Each structure stands twice: as structure tokens, then as C-alpha cells.
């Protein structure tokens, strides 16, 4: 009986997924369909944040796909559609934001951090080498240096 109830509960849970809305749009030609796919892959879902609107099931992604379809039907260019979405949702809606003063940190920040880290590592290694070389030179006493010199002289005479 418990297994039967578990199976019914699982079936009811999964049936909700089976009824997910699927967008069906009629395009005038294949070029328009390709533009639609390209735009929906290029734009990010504002709710999901790490998913494009083509793959998102969020209600806002459905609205954005419908809006793109409407604008394509009006004959707007890809750039006009992207500009409209950026004006409405901000630069975040693009997976590849344009290079501007505001987004320069996004584009060049990781490289700057890498270069900065390499400089810090270089400075640390350089300081350690300088201190270790000067420390080793001063570690022998005068008596030890004299003894070392005599040993080295004997070695050279052989």
C-alpha cells in the first residue's frame, strides 16, 4: 500500500512538469526563426540569472520571448531588439555586455587581478631571495671562515 501511494504521489508530482508551457511561434521564413533563436540565446533571463531566455521556464522569460517575436514581426533589427531589452532590463540582460566605462571592470578586472597577483608573488620571491643570500653570507664566524679558507686552499693544491 505504501509503494502504491508513493507511486501515485510521484506521478502527480511529475505530471506538473509534463504540462510545462511550450512556446510555438509561426515564423515567416527560416531566417526569422534563426534570428529568434540567436536573440533568445544571447539574452539572459532576469529571474534565472544564469540561464538564457531560450532555456528558461520563468514567466518573465516567456514574456521576453513573446516580445522578441512581436518585434521580429514588426521588422526590427537584432540591434534594435537588444537595445530595447537593455533599456528595459539593464546591461545585465546581455551575456556579453558591451565594452563601456561601466563594464570595463567586468572585461578587464580578472586580467588585472591576475597581473596584480603575479607582481605580488614576484615581489615576495625577490625579497626572500635577497634576504636569504645576505643571511647565508653572514652566518660564518671569523674563525669558521679562516678554517674554510684553509680547507679550500688544501683542495686547490691537490
For 69-121, the pLDDT digits (tens) are 999 989 899 999 999 998 998 888 887 777 778 778 878 889 999 999 999 99
In which region does residue 93 sit, left (phi positive, over 0), alpha (psi from -120 to 50) or beta (all else)?
alpha
Residue-range definition of the domain harbouring residue 65: 18-93
67 shares a domain with 114: no
Residue 39 Cα distances to 23, 91, 110, 111, 126, angstroms: 15, 15, 27, 29, 51
Residue 45 lies in a domain: yes
DSSP codes, 18-36? HT--------SSHHHHHHH
- Domain edge (last residue) among 73, 93, 113: 93
Domain count within the chain:
2
For 132-155, the pLDDT digits (tens) are 766 665 677 888 888 888 888 876
85 shares a domain with 42: yes
130 shares a domain with 84: no
Residue 11 lies in a domain: no
pTM exceeds 0.75, yes or no? no
Q: What is the pLDDT of residue 18?
A: 45
**Contact between 81 and 65 (Cβ < 8 Å):** no
119 shares a domain with 89: no
Amino acid at each position: 500500500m505504501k509503494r502504491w501511494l508513493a507511486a501515485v504521489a510521484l506521478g502527480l508530482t511529475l505530471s506538473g512538469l509534463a504540462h510545462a508551457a511550450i512556446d510555438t511561434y509561426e515564423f515567416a521564413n527560416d531566417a526569422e526563426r534563426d534570428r529568434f533563436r540567436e536573440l533568445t540565446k544571447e539574452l539572459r533571463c532576469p529571474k534565472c540569472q544564469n540561464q538564457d531566455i531560450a532555456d528558461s521556464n520563468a514567466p518573465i522569460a516567456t514574456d521576453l520571448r513573446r516580445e522578441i517575436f512581436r518585434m521580429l514581426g514588426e521588422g526590427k533589427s537584432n540591434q534594435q531588439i537588444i537595445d530595447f531589452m537593455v533599456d528595459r532590463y539593464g546591461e545585465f540582460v546581455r551575456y556579453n555586455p558591451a565594452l563601456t566605462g561601466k563594464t570595463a571592470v567586468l572585461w578587464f578586472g580578472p586580467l588585472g587581478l591576475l597581473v596584480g597577483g603575479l607582481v605580488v608573488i614576484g615581489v615576495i620571491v625577490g625579497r626572500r631571495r635577497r634576504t636569504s643570500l645576505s643571511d647565508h653570507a653572514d652566518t660564518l664566524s671569523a674563525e669558521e671562515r679562516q678554517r674554510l679558507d684553509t680547507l679550500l686552499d688544501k683542495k686547490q693544491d691537490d
